[in-house]
Amino acid sequence: MKKVKTLILRTAGTNCDYETQSAFELCGAVADRVHINTLIEKKNKIFEYDILVFPGGFSYGDDIASGKILSNEIKNKLGDEIKKYALSGRPIVGICNGFQVLVKIGLLPDPKFFKQIFTLSCNDSDKFECRWVYLKVEKKVRRESNCIWTKNLPDVISLPVAHGEGKFVSGNEKFLDNLNKNSQIVFRYSLKDGSEPEYPLVPNGSIGHVAGICNKKGNIFGLMPHPERYVFTLQHPAREGFNDRYGWGKVIFQNAVDFVI
């Protein structure tokens, strides 16, 4: 059986790379933490890997805005390689700060355009929000979405969030309609029964309660919650999970590994 190789991109301020590495290794993949400078020096190294991950943390201290410096560095120094990698159909995920990076690079909502058309801004509370939340996977998305990362998930799951800039916003009125039409909205914040929540279970004020989206092809996935922090059932305060041993984060990462195999 093929050994799936995962590249977890890190830089100054990245702090969720070890957890993400452990999650992919648990799913049977080989996972390497690779510094951005290594990738810049050997640009084609990225194509040695089957999966690309932009993990959470506070890249470059989130100076200017979350993920802004890293996204500019990637686009200016690795832009051609990143776009080619994305268009090849290989799985890519951006978690929290990594989601912010994907957005500002322009890999979401469509790597063909490769430009930023929406953002993740400061939470409505104007403070860092850290808690467990419920996420709804709408029936339309479960039925029609191409997202490879969310197969075998139920209507509602639970994951933890930890961010200060997670509010999904866009100045384009038709943007959200197009995401809905194309089944690209993967996760929305919800109550446990799937109904609409209020703060604090919508921790940031995102329009449409959006917590995660994918591209049309379904290989690129960005989300604010942290699946790498919930791969074992025991990590959940109420011991909820996929089964007695694993949490929903394990399912998400396993989906990508199985897709490559």
- Can you spell out the DSSP letters for 57-106? B-GGGG-SSTTHHHHHHHHHHHHHHHHHHHHTT--EEEETHHHHHHHHHT
Please write the tens of the pLDDT for every residue from 75-104. 999 999 999 999 999 999 999 999 999 999
Q: Sign (positive/negative) of CA torsion 40, 75, 54, 59?
A: positive
| DSSP structure class, residue 184 | -
CA-based diameter of the chain, in Å? 49
Given a contact cutoff of 8 angstroms between Cβ atoms, the answer to whether 137 and 176 are in contact is no
Centroid of chain to Cα 151: 15
Phi-psi region of 151 (alpha: psi -120 to 50; beta: other; left: phi over 0): beta
pLDDT exceeds 90 at position 206: yes
Q: Is the confidence at residue 33, as pLDDT, over 90?
A: yes
Cα(96)–Cα(212) distance, integer angstroms:
10
- Taking the domains of the chain in order of start, what are their residue ranges? 5-260
Name the strand (E) or helix (H) holding 30: strand 30-35
The sign of the torsion formed by the CA atoms of 136, 157, 132, 219 equals negative
- Give the per-residue pLDDT at 158: 97
CA distance 180 to 34: 35
Distances (CA, A) of 11 to 57, 200, 218: 10, 31, 26
Three-state secondary structure call for residue 8 = strand
- Catalytic amino acids? 96, 226, 228
Amino acid, single-letter form, for residue 64? I
Statement: residue 173 has pLDDT above 90: no
pLDDT range class, residue 140, cuts 50, 70, 90: low
pLDDT at residue 12, as a whole number: 97
Looking at the chain, the whole-number percentage of residues with pLDDT higher than 90 is 90
User: Whose CA is closest to 186, among 146, 159, 152, 158?
Assistant: 146
> What's the mean pLDDT when you consider all of the chain?
95
CATH architecture of 5-260: 3-Layer(aba) Sandwich (3.40)
> Which residues 6+ apart lie within 8 Å of 31 measured at CB?
5, 6, 8, 20, 21, 22, 24, 25
Q: What is the pLDDT of residue 135?
A: 97
Segment 190-202 shows an average pLDDT of 96
Say what the pLDDT of residue 48 is. 97
In tens, the pLDDT along 45-77 reads 999 999 999 999 999 999 999 999 999 999 999
Average pLDDT for 191-215: 96
Report CA Rg, the chain: 17
Dihedral-angle region of residue 106 (phi above 0 means left; psi in -120 to 50 means alpha; beta otherwise):
left
What's the residue count for the chain?
261
Q: What is the pLDDT of residues 143-172, one digit of tens each?
A: 667 899 999 999 999 999 999 999 999 877
